[in-house]
Structure 1
Amino acid sequence: MKSKYIILSAISLPVLILDQITKVYIDRTMDLHTSITVIENFFNITYMRNKGAAFSFLANFSYRLPFFILISLIAAIVIIVVIRRLRPDQKFAAASLSLIFSGAIGNLIDRVRLGEVIDFLDVHWYGHHWPAFNVADSAICVGVFLLAIDMFIEERRQKSLK
């Protein structure tokens, strides 16, 4: 088995399992819209449901569910195709894409199972709250950030080869 597929499995499976376990736990142990303070004036566990994408984008769009399911499936397929095309030395890119893949699949599972996504990580500064998010959202954000770093490094590497 090629190392990029080992990386995909080694990252995606644990992240996906953690995402789903935390969402099921929150759903079974908390009432919707309740909060548990973890760090005063900074971080709560708050059970929310999001019918849209980031910041509830398109939450009221009539075809939102099939749209988000389709987008998630397309994203997952594109990521697999891109990982297949990576060179063997592009392990950092494979890891970054694996995080994005696991996040897309984690939220896809929620949309298929519930018609919406469970969010519960609530970062705030006193009364100013960032929209609640989950492990899958975190994996996507970290993956995109790391992929941007990898692309910058790869561009510099390509320039140095010329």
Structure 2
Amino acid sequence: MNEQKNRILNKINILNLLIIVLIFVADRFSKIKIINYVLSNNKSIYVNDYLNLELVWNSGIGFGLLNLDAGIWYHFISLIIFFVILAIIYLMIKSSNLDKIFLSLVLGGALGNLYDRALYFSVPDFIDIHFNDFHWFTFNIADIFISLGIILILLKEVFLKKHEKN
């Protein structure tokens, strides 16, 4: 029984690692492609009336909040992000299998953005969703998975807690 449980846990851990790596690679690939395109063509990409791919360098935190120069505050925020990543890894070790999957989404995206912070001293954001003159925050693939993982964790907590009460 213990051997079968260990095999199942190993498969789950491999799945989580695969999710993290795939998100990291997809994020890196998308950022490299958009950076190379913009540097070569010196323009953004018009997709449709609601979506452009436009490179914006974000030295702040998620969705361009707290945009900072690469000074002491930038390094302080980067250090906090590093410790949040360590906390996510700790939570993954202690969490249920479903939570591990959701945390893998967050971790894959967080590692992608942290890598950019170390490499470029900012994060390349490029997905620009807009309606007429209203533009949502520009974001990237990593931000999508970070947000998705957090939303899924919150939904699970809300609906499972509600279900447990009934």
User: Could you say which structure has the higher helix fraction?
Assistant: 2
- Listed as ranges, the matches of 1:48-87 within 5 Å are 48-60=56-68, 62-86=71-95
Q: Which residue of 1 aligns with 2:144?
A: 138
Give 1:159 deviation, angstroms.
3.8
**What RMSD, in angstroms, separates the aligned Cα atoms of the two structures?**
2.0
1:81 is displaced (CA, Å) by 0.8
Which of 78, 102, 105 is equivalent to 2:108? 102
CA contact (8 A) 1:52 1:64 kept: no
Deviations 1:26-59 (A, max 9, x none): 111214983211112x001111111111343222
Q: Distance in 1 between matches of 2:153 and 2:164?
A: 16
Indicate how the Cα distance of structure 1 residues 4 and 73 shifts in structure 2: closer, same or farther if over 3 A, else same. Answer: farther
Amino acid at match of 2:109: G
Query: Secondary structure of 2:52's match?
Result: strand
2:31 is matched with which residue?
Answer: 23
| Structure 1 Cα separation of the partners of residues 73 and 124 of structure 2 | 16
Provide the rounded CA distance (Å) in 2 between the counterparts of 1:144 and 1:17: 20
Please name the residue that 2:17 is paired with. 9
Q: Mark the structure with the bigger radius of gyration.
A: 2
State the partner residue of 2:4.
none
Q: Aligned to 2:16, what secondary structure does the other structure show?
A: helix
Q: Secondary structure at the match of 2:104?
A: helix
- 1:151 aligned residue (130, 134, 157): 157
Q: How far is the alpha carbon of 1:83 from its aligned partner?
A: 1.1
TM-score, normalised to structure 2, is 0.84
Q: How many residues align?
A: 156
Question: Aligned pair in 2 of structure 1 residues 98, 33: CA closer, same or farther (>3 Å)?
Answer: farther
Q: Does 1:46 align with 2:72?
A: no
Moved more, 52-61 or 143-152: 52-61
> Which of 115, 118, 122 is equivalent to 1:112?
118
Is the 1:75–1:104 Cα contact (8 Å) retained in structure 2? Answer: no
Tell me if structure 2 keeps the 8 A contact 1:33–1:47.
Answer: no
- Alignment identity in percent? 28
CA distance change for structure 1 residues 33 and 57 in 2, over 3 Å: closer, same or farther? farther
Cα distance between partner residues in 2 of 1:18 and 1:131: 20
